[in-house]
Amino acid sequence: MLTSLLPSRVEPYKLAARHERLEGLVPLNQLARLAEEAGDQTGDCHVVLEFGVDAQGRREIRGHLQATLSLACRRCLEPMPQPVESRFLLGMISDEALADELPASHEPVLVENEQLDLLTVVEDELILSLPQVVYHDEKECRVSPEQLVSKAEGSDEKAAPNDNPFAVLNALKSSGALKGKK
Ligand SMILES: [Zn+2]
């Protein structure tokens, strides 16, 4: 199991020249801006960063992150676990003005004094990957959709028949019955 922390400060040009791969954890409770956006968090974000230089000589970082955040359900406001995952491609720039020279496939990341704060990078990407709204499944939510009917916003949220817990029981019973007949 992976337990090492991602280093917070690195020298990204050197890492790119050596095509280094960094993998590690970022404790979510270190990320203050994420807490502002999404509430207090526990646990870790799992991060993989691959540094490299592309055919055009651009120094880049291919990244992947995964975390389970605790986000408030929009209906009942209780926190619920929400997995988030993001893949990203960053192009290193030494000056904000150079951001326009990057292709659209690359998000610019500013490298100052040959240093990069990876916690900031990870936090930015986590915030970008936050879902707009999250809801519990109806049967797990403290607030039923009926209680919110007054708010009805387009009511696209079809009440699926298999949300009925008895449907599962019935299915089990009938499959058992079928076996019995053999
Ligand atoms: Zn809820």
Q: What is the mean pLDDT of residues 4-26?
A: 97
Closest by CA position to 76, among listed 157, 141, 158 = 141
Ligand 1 centroid distance, CA of 134 (Å): 9
Joined together, the tokens standing for residue 107 give: 């998000």
Ligand 1 centroid distance, CA of 51 (Å): 40
Ligand 1 centroid distance, CA of 141 (Å): 4
Ligand 1 centroid distance, CA of 71 (Å): 10
Ligand 1 centroid distance, CA of 47 (Å): 29
Q: What is the mean pLDDT of residues 126-132?
A: 95
Ligand 1 centroid distance, CA of 123 (Å): 26
Ligand 1 centroid distance, CA of 132 (Å): 15
pLDDT over threshold 50, residue 177: no
Ligand 1 centroid distance, CA of 82 (Å): 12
* Lowest-pLDDT choice from 25-39, 84-98, 138-152, 167-181: 167-181
Ligand 1 centroid distance, CA of 160 (Å): 17
What is residue 145's predicted lDDT score, i.e. its pLDDT?
A: 72
What is residue 165's predicted lDDT score, i.e. its pLDDT?
A: 52
Question: Does the reported pTM lie above 0.85?
Answer: no
Closest by CA position to 94, among listed 111, 106, 107 = 111
Q: What is the mean pLDDT of residues 57-83?
A: 96
Q: Please answer whether residues 86 and 129 qualify as being in contact, where contact means their C-beta atoms are separated by less than 8 angstroms.
A: yes
Closest by CA position to 134, among listed 80, 84, 86 = 80
Q: pLDDT band for 180, please (50, 70, 90 cuts).
A: very low
Joined together, the tokens standing for residue 7 give: 């280093």
pLDDT over threshold 50, residue 45: yes
Ligand 1 centroid distance, CA of 74 (Å): 7
pLDDT over threshold 90, residue 155: no
Angle at 46 between CA 42 and CA 16, to 5 degrees: 140
Q: Please answer whether residues 35 and 12 qualify as being in contact, where contact means their C-beta atoms are separated by less than 8 angstroms.
A: no
